[in-house]
Amino acid sequence: MRYLVLAIVGLIAQLVVVGVFVAEDGLDFAEMGDQIFSSTIAVLTFVDLAFCALVYLVWMPREARRSGITRWWPFAVATFGGVCFAFPLFLHARERHRARVA
């Protein structure tokens, strides 16, 4: 249950930040891109998160198969909600599956 709470908190946190951005700048993807690449630290953060997402997307289908989860693709789609949403959501599903099997 704690992983589900973490997934929800991660999703809400990201939605709040996106909401603040939209309130200030509108739904301006060009401005979003400008801000992502506006400084070395911003680029570092973006690259780090993108690499984490890539590692998660490579690891998760194998872990799903190993854990007996047959439908792994919804967790890949959930990555669009952020790694901080998709990863704990997958861990929650994995723990629930393990509990059912045990």
Q: How many domains does the chain have?
A: 1
How much is the pLDDT for 1?
A: 87
Query: What pLDDT tens digit does each residue of the chain (102 aa) get?
Result: 899 999 999 999 999 999 999 999 999 999 999 999 999 999 999 999 999 999 999 999 999 999 999 999 999 999 999 999 999 999 999 999 999 987
Distance between CA 52 and CA 79 in Å, rounded? 11
Task: Tell the residue number behind the tokens 């973006």, with chain if given.
Answer: 46
Domain of 16, in residue numbers: 2-101
* Burial of 64 (C-beta count, 10 Å sphere; 0-12/13-18/19+): buried
How much is the pLDDT for 101?
A: 86
Whether residue 67 contacts residue 97, with contact meaning beta carbons closer than 8 Å, is answered with yes
Whether residue 9 contacts residue 97, with contact meaning beta carbons closer than 8 Å, is answered with no
Quick check: pTM over 0.75? yes
